[in-house]
Amino acid sequence: MRLDKFLGDQNIGTRKQIKEYIKNGRCTINGEVATKPDIHIDENKDEISFDGEILSYSKFHYFMLNKPAGVVSATKDGKCQTVLNLLAGENVKDLSPCGRLDIDTEGLLLLTDDGELIHKLLSPKKHVDKTYEVHLSKEISENDIARLEEGLNIGDYNEDGSVKMTLPARVKVLPDDEEGRPLIHLIIHEGRFHQVKRMLEAVGNEVLFLRRLSMGSLQLDEDLAPGDYRPLTDEEISDLKK
């Protein structure tokens, strides 16, 4: 692999920036200062350092973001701040959000350039669990819970015109939140438009606040404040790919 390609894959900078960095002697190969950006390296054996920090090769990049309200889950938007804007300190060239959260919804969002993983996590056939913290306008009844867990009509239709029922969900009733509002955890494995809000509307309730807590094996890091992010650990990446 070319050295500049290797450094680009590590989000060090653009190709033009990397060329300048190498020219300024900021990169070493096995302890020797690199002199050319097009020199070929063995990314699995050679020790590559940038500003004294040893770099390990990673073809893809994975970030956990605690999405705040008011930010859109998109790569570009003409009106609103996007989730990529929150990763201003990273080279976000090929990063995409894995699924979407509504503009007023907070919580876990995975951003990656690993298209295969995004496809697997979002495929309806994979039935990847997504857990939401749902603050409600009123108490939820046992009958409402049964309807949510059996699957219900939220106004979607199949190509043949038949009603497209939601897949069975799971509901866990929790103590009321700090403001005295009913609180549940709702686990679904679909990603329809405004799905959680529409499911609760279908049983005569209203979502007042919504936060995603998990997606598959990935759990929202409690140390991340809204708007903060961090790279995924090797263990988190491995678990997601399983």
81 lies in the same domain as 100? yes
Just list the catalytic residues.
Answer: 102
Cα–Cα distance between 112 and 61 in angstroms, integer?
A: 5
Residue 91 pLDDT level (bands cut at 50, 70, 90):
low
Beta bridge partners of 229: 65
Over 90: is that where the pLDDT of 21 sits?
yes
Co-location of 166 and 180 in the same domain? yes
Residue 11: the pLDDT is 75
Q: Check pLDDT > 90 for residue 93.
A: no
- Could you tell me which of 32, 30, 35 has the C-alpha nearest to residue 4? 35
Q: Which two tokens stand for residue 181?
A: 């509002």
pTM score, two decimals? Answer: 0.82
pLDDT at 9: 79
* Same domain? 150 vs 165: yes
Closest C-alpha among 194, 203, 186, 69 to residue 138: 203
Residue 126 is predicted with a pLDDT of 86
Q: Report which secondary-structure segment, H or E, holds 117.
A: helix 115-122
The 10 Å CB-count burial string (b at 16+, else e) for 197-223 is: bbbbebeebebbbbbbbbbbebebbee
Return mean pLDDT, the chain.
93
Q: pLDDT band at residue 92, thresholds of 50, 70 and 90?
A: low
Task: Tell me how many domains the chain contains.
Answer: 3
Q: Which domain does 147 fall in, by range?
A: 129-215
- Whether residues 150 and 203 fall in one domain: yes
Q: Are residues 69 and 48 in the same domain?
A: no
Same domain, yes or no, for 162 and 238? no
- CATH number, domain containing residue 190: 3.30.70.1560
Sign of CA dihedral 212, 217, 222, 223: negative
In tens, the pLDDT along 208-228 reads 999 999 999 999 999 999 999
If asked whether residues 89 and 207 sit together in one domain, one would say: no
* Cβ–Cβ < 8 Å for 136, 200: yes
Q: Is 196 exposed, middle or buried (0-12, 13-18, 19+ CB in 10 A)?
A: buried
For residue range 27-79, list pLDDT tens digits in order.
999 999 999 999 999 887 899 999 998 887 777 889 999 999 999 999 888 88
- Same-domain pairing of 162 and 239: no
For residues 169 and 196, membership in a common domain is answered with yes
Same domain, 146 and 208: yes
Whether 86 and 135 share a structural domain: no
Residue 88 has pLDDT above 80, yes or no: no
Domain harbouring 37, CATH code: 3.10.290.10
CATH assignment of the domain containing 103: 3.30.70.580
Does residue 134 share a domain with residue 191? yes
235: left (phi over 0), alpha (psi -120 to 50) or beta: alpha
The two tokens of residue 101 are 């959260």
